[in-house]
Structures are given as C-alpha cells and as structure tokens.
Structure 1
C-alpha cells in the first residue's frame, strides 16, 4: 500500500490523502483551509473513487474541483452529503464577497451532487480487491472513519471524538493493522466536558440575571446544535441566527445519526429562529440569549449582536470554539478588538469590546489522552499521525508505548 498526503498532514486544514493498492487509487477527503485568502491542497491525480469523512470545509471544500476535473464517484453518509452542498455553495458566496479567486462554480457543485453515492455505517463497498466500510467517528452527525480491507486492514479516521457529546456518541476503536489518525490536539487535553457545560450554563444565567445579553458565537455545523442542546432547559428568551438553523433542519431528517432525536427537537422548540430582517430586529431588542453563526467572528450575523453589546458591562460574549491566529475571535481574546462590517455597502471598522468575555472548550476533537486510548483499542502495527500542527507530543507518547509511528510530510509517498 502506497500513501501520499496532498495537504493536511503537518497542519490542521485542507486535508487530502491518496491511497494506492493493487492498482486501485483512492482519495480520502479533499478540503480547503479557510485562511484569508483560502489555501488548497496539492492538485490530485484522477482517483478511482473518493471517500469523504465529513462535511467541514477543511475536508470537503475542494470536492467540486474533483467533480469538475474528473467526475469521480464520491462516497459519504447521507447527512454529510446534504451539509456539504450547503457549505460549498456558501463558500462561493464568501469568495465573491471577499474578492478571492473562485476555484469552482455552481455548475461544478451541481456535478458534485450528481456524483455522490451514500453509504451508511458498517455497509461494505467492493472496489477491486479492496473492501471499504464506514464507522461512526463521533465528530459531528454523519462523520465517518473508513476501514479499508485488503492484504491488511487500514483505518483512516478523519476527525474523531471518542467522548459522548449532546449531539453524537463518541467513536469506538476498530481493530486494524494500520491506523491513520488525526492529531489535532496532540499534547493537549480537554477539561471535563460536563463541568464545562455547567460553567457555560452558569455564565448564561449570571449574564441574564444581571440584566445583560449572552451572545454565543458558534460554528454552524455541529457546534450550534450542541450549544442549543446544552441550553435547552433554560427558561429565557433565546434566539438562533445564521446557517446553523439550516444545518439543524438537515440533521432532524437523519435521526439515526443523532444521539437523541428528542433532545434536538426540544432544543429547536426552545429557540426562536431569525428568518427575516424583522426577526433580527426583534432578537436585538428582546433576546436574552443569542446563538449566532460566526464561530471565529469573521463574518455572519454574530457581528451585529456583538456590536450591540460591546460597551455593556452586564452582557457577555461566550466563545465556544477554537480561534485561529488570523481570526477576529483570536484578536478579541488577546487584545479586546475585532473588525466588523455591518453591511456590505459599509466599510469595515475596528471596534473595542468592553463587555464580559469568556471562552469554553467544547471541542469536537479528541484530546491526546483519549486519542492514545483509541489507538490502544485499535491495536495497530503502524500509526500514521495527520491533521496536526505539532505531532511530536502525540508521537512520543505512542512510541513510549512501543507503537511504530510514522510522520509523513506533504507530497511524500510512503509505504505500509
């Protein structure tokens, strides 16, 4: 088996991996990094088939390019297909708005959707001498890790979380000879999940009881729904705004991929939705809690709500996601400033934020200790670490446990 990463192996973002065995060429994921401007993996040769782990743009964002150039069949779970279409169409809008080069167009996305074939967990697909099967990855609804069975058994994890969250159950180990695993949180662990959820709830309560608004910026895919489910029992005037609403509607149509269909429905009942401009006006005037798209604060309706409360000492901005160094969220955490554009016909402005600010770790990635337990459960001969800015801490712990660890570089072919 020969492998080569086209991106996303020494970094988090724009993942793409080629696998060649017995004259079969497979591509696993093909994404983009949402930098400014976006960056892309190396050009892929024509694959016989593509396997998509999940619908985050750093894994799916360049699949329309594959459809345009090759028309290759692409495999994914049903919710992943639906959400991918929404995100890649939105990426075109963002490229136009920001003046970035467009690497594909709407017609290419139409071709992509025609090329998708859906697979459910544990189904088996024969590709020449190989068998490929998806398993739950625990990251977001529909996220899959793939088992490739040939002369040996190889597992490609994509992004995984091994702990149960409100939205999905954690991933379970799959016995294999070769394990290709993400290392996003190499060298780092997460605080206790239940404790973090309690702290978020208490911060919302404290803010509202003091007469302020709790503004909660969230990624549309997975995090919006997770936060809504955490807060669903609060009796406040709560609203949700942005693409997260559409993602929630997609997820409700695939109850088999959700940990609790009942809890997701209950959370959607508790939150009023901003659909029209008049709804946003009402939310700005009346809401006590607002969950809004724009997880790193670089765009989306969350900027409007933050501008409303920036000088209010009783209000709070409660961040729930990782903030990359180039993001508004990173600047806010480190120097209390951020850039906002309240309308497309208005210039961008820098604002100083004086309201309360807190950050909560609700990551959908496994921390290092959980990754190590997962590796031990898979019991592989070889471990390939990908999707990490710093793989060495994770690699060292595995080597200390006598695992053979491989740290490939971008565009470097290696054999298993």
Structure 2
C-alpha cells in the first residue's frame, strides 16, 4: 500500500492522505489569513471524509471542479456539516482570497455524496472501507481501509473519553498500519468533571457580579457541548453564529448523539440569536453566557461581542478550544490583545482558558495505540509529531512521523 501525505503531517490543519493514488482520505484547509490548502490537487477515484471540521473537509468541493466527479463517502452528519462549512466559506471568504471552489462545485457535492453508518463496510476506489465511531464530534469516524493486502487504520480526530455530546471511541479493529493523530500528545487533560466545575463556578461568579461572559466556541461540537453544560447548571445563555444552524441539523441525527433528549432540552434552555449587530450589542449588556463563533476569534459574531465587553474587567472571555498559532484567539491568550476586524484591541475583560478538548490526550493516545503494538504507526495531525513518534519508538512501537509531501510504502 502506498500512502502519500498531502497535508496534516507535522501540523494541525489541511489533512489530506492519498492511498494507492486512488483513494483520498480527507481534504481540508489550514485556518489562517489566507488559509493554506493541501500541497497537491489530486484526481482520486473516490474520497472518504472522517468528520466535518474545516481542517479535514474544508477543501473537498474543489475536488469536483472541471470534469472530475469522484464519489464522496462520509456519515450523514459529516455530509451536512461539510455542506454548511462550504457555503459559509464561500460567503465569508470568497472575496478576500481566491477560494478554490465555486458555488457549482458545492452543488455537485450533493450529487456525488454517499452516506454510511458506523461498521457498514463499503467499496471505494477498489478498497473495502469501514467507519467506526471516533468519539470526536457527531458523525466523526475512524476509517479502516483494506486493499486486499494491507489494512490501514486512519484514526482521524478522536477521543477515548465520553463527552456530554458524544460517547468516546471503543473501536480497535485489526490493522497493519495506523495513521494516528497527535494533537494533544504532550498534554494530560484535566478531568472533564473538574473542568466543568471550574467553568461553571467562574461564569456564575461573573454573572453574580453583573458581568457578561463571551464563550467563543467551534460551531461543530463545542457549541453544543457548552449548551449542554449551561442547561445542566441552569446558566442563562445565548447561542449565536453557525452553531445555531449546526444544532438544528444535528437534532435530525439522534443516532449520532449520546443523549438526544439532553440536546433537545439544551436547545430549549438556550436563546438563539437571529438578529443583527444592534441586537448583539444589547445582548452584550446582559448577565448571561454568550456562546458564539468563531472559536478562534477569526470571524463570526464574536467580532461584535468582544469589542462590546472588552473594556470592563468584570466581564470575561472564556476560550474553550484549541487556538492555532497566529489566530486572534491565540494572541488574546498570550498577550491580552487581539486583532478584531482589522484593529488590534487591548482586552481588559478577564481571559480564561478551559480544556474542553474533543481530542484524546497523551495517556489516551498510548492506551489506544496499545492495541497496535504489532502495527506500523505513522504520527500526524500535531505540532510535535516527531517528538511523539520518538516517544512511541522508545516504548517499542514501530513509529515515525512523516512530513507533508512524503510518500510511504507500507
């Protein structure tokens, strides 16, 4: 089996892996201004997508330009999320850089889409492919690829512990080669219950003091997780941005949600924002949590809320997700300043960071990979892939960390 890394090796973003020059696993983008795309524009016979985040699916429509029409295989939620993200990319960024796909390309996605559930084996480009629940976000999948000689297990992004929104992965199918993510390979997550308790105590204190809490959150997964927490602890909250649409969509696929009734209750508890900036400025004066995109402060309604609450030190900004280097969210955490709509703003409001990660941590990675001690392990999707691969090798694994552009025969 030949495996070529077109992106996502040694970095968090633009995941793209070409198998046997025929089957493409993911085709994402690396968030930035401008964003970065995989190093090649392949012409695969079929595409398989692990989950619906921009760094894994953001560039998929570009594969359908010209006469190319490879079928795209994914779970039903991933399909819906990919279409939502593609339309949003066209709307928000089409004018600021050369978007690699058009509205017609997005329409073609629906024509070539093939959806599958977990543990349903299907054929793609001459390979047998099976999805397994990856425990990352609704619809996220590990991908097992069998070409008749080698079994490749692409973990995608995954979590071994339960979250409120989705259950952790328990899948460990036999494999000869494992391509494993390593986003938090050098981190041990704090116990999730303790993180929730600190977050809730902090938010309740701010509201009691008359302040407002802005909760930047990824639209897919994190927004719904924060909604579930707010409902559980009866914290008044607004939800704004793409997360409102994603929440409505996810409720159509209860089989991919850990507790669909809990998500329904959380939606009833929250107040969804549908108005414009005038309404948002009024909401920014409320004693409530405002769960809003963008999770890295790189766009979305957060661009309205942060300027409105930034000057009052009673207010808070609680970052809930991974912040890519160079994003305003990362700058805010490190310097107390962030570029918002082209203007660098000091933020006097308190800035806090909470580890609500949907990725497994170092201990989880080792526990997961313990089932694959006889396999070849290729480490990707992380800032320190080589270091983690070396740690694995020191524990007896056949592990290495490819770089983007590498081709490996397994």
Pairwise same-fold verdict (TM > 0.5): yes
**What is the aligned counterpart of 2:149 among 126, 151, 158?**
151
Check conservation: 2:230, 2:236, Cα contact below 8 A: no
Check conservation: 1:175, 1:380, Cα contact below 8 A: no
Query: Do structure 1's residue 413 and structure 2's residue 410 form an aligned pair?
Result: no
- TM score, norm. by length of structure 1: 0.93
- Distance, in Å, in 2 between the alignment partners of 1:380 and 1:242 is 45
Q: Residues 273-306 of structure 1: CA distance to partner in whole angstroms, max 9, x if unpaired? A: 1112365355234352211111111211112222
Q: Residues 163-208 of structure 1: CA distance to partner in whole angstroms, max 9, x if unpaired? A: 1111111112223221111111222221111111111111111111
**What is the aligned counterpart of 1:352 among 327, 334, 346?**
346
Q: Residues 348-374 of structure 1: CA distance to partner in whole angstroms, max 9, x if unpaired? A: 333221111111011111111101110
- Distance, in Å, in 2 between the alignment partners of 1:230 and 1:378 is 35
Over 3 Å counting, the alpha-carbon distance change for 1:334 and 1:33 in structure 2 is same
Bigger shift: residues 235-244 or 219-228: 235-244
Query: Do structure 1's residue 34 and structure 2's residue 28 form an aligned pair?
Result: no
Over 3 Å counting, the alpha-carbon distance change for 1:215 and 1:127 in structure 2 is closer
Over 3 Å counting, the alpha-carbon distance change for 1:67 and 1:361 in structure 2 is same
Check conservation: 1:27, 1:49, Cα contact below 8 A: yes
- Distance, in Å, in 2 between the alignment partners of 1:187 and 1:137 is 20
- Distance, in Å, in 2 between the alignment partners of 1:319 and 1:16 is 28
Check conservation: 2:239, 2:272, Cα contact below 8 A: yes
Query: Do structure 1's residue 374 and structure 2's residue 368 form an aligned pair?
Result: yes
Matched with 1:399 is: 393
Deviation at 1:307, TM superposition (A): 1.6
Q: Residues 37-56 of structure 1: CA distance to partner in whole angstroms, max 9, x if unpaired? A: 11110223321211000111
- Distance, in Å, in 2 between the alignment partners of 1:128 and 1:9 is 23
Check conservation: 1:178, 1:380, Cα contact below 8 A: no
Secondary structure at the aligned position of 1:186 is classed as coil
Matched with 2:158 is: 160
RMSD: 1.7
Check conservation: 1:53, 1:158, Cα contact below 8 A: yes
Over 3 Å counting, the alpha-carbon distance change for 1:338 and 1:409 in structure 2 is closer
Structure 2 gaps of 5+ residues are none
Check conservation: 1:274, 1:283, Cα contact below 8 A: no
- Distance, in Å, in 1 between the alignment partners of 2:126 and 2:84 is 34
Matched with 1:345 is: none
Check conservation: 2:180, 2:379, Cα contact below 8 A: yes
- Distance, in Å, in 2 between the alignment partners of 1:115 and 1:126 is 14
Matched with 1:244 is: 243
Check conservation: 1:175, 1:379, Cα contact below 8 A: no
Matched with 2:256 is: 257
Check conservation: 2:218, 2:294, Cα contact below 8 A: yes
Counting matched residue pairs gives 406
- Distance, in Å, in 2 between the alignment partners of 1:413 and 1:387 is 16
Check conservation: 2:373, 2:396, Cα contact below 8 A: no
Residue correspondence of structure 1 range 13-412 to structure 2 within 5 A: 13-20=13-20, 25-69=22-66, 70-97=68-95, 99-127=96-124, 130-149=127-146, 150-172=148-170, 173-277=172-276, 279-280=279-280, 282-341=282-341, 348-412=342-406
Over 3 Å counting, the alpha-carbon distance change for 1:71 and 1:207 in structure 2 is same
Secondary structure at the aligned position of 1:232 is classed as helix
Bigger shift: residues 35-44 or 73-82: 35-44
- TM score, norm. by length of structure 2: 0.95
Structure 1 gaps of 5+ residues are 342-347
Secondary structure at the aligned position of 2:143 is classed as strand
Deviation at 1:248, TM superposition (A): 0.4
- Distance, in Å, in 2 between the alignment partners of 1:129 and 1:313 is 59
Deviation at 1:130, TM superposition (A): 3.2
Bigger shift: residues 324-333 or 74-83: 324-333
- Distance, in Å, in 1 between the alignment partners of 2:355 and 2:301 is 22
Q: Residues 133-164 of structure 1: CA distance to partner in whole angstroms, max 9, x if unpaired? A: 10011111001111122223221111111111
Check conservation: 1:329, 1:338, Cα contact below 8 A: yes
- Distance, in Å, in 2 between the alignment partners of 1:395 and 1:263 is 39
Deviation at 1:81, TM superposition (A): 0.3
Q: Residues 225-262 of structure 1: CA distance to partner in whole angstroms, max 9, x if unpaired? A: 01111111333432111110000011100000001101
Check conservation: 2:218, 2:243, Cα contact below 8 A: yes
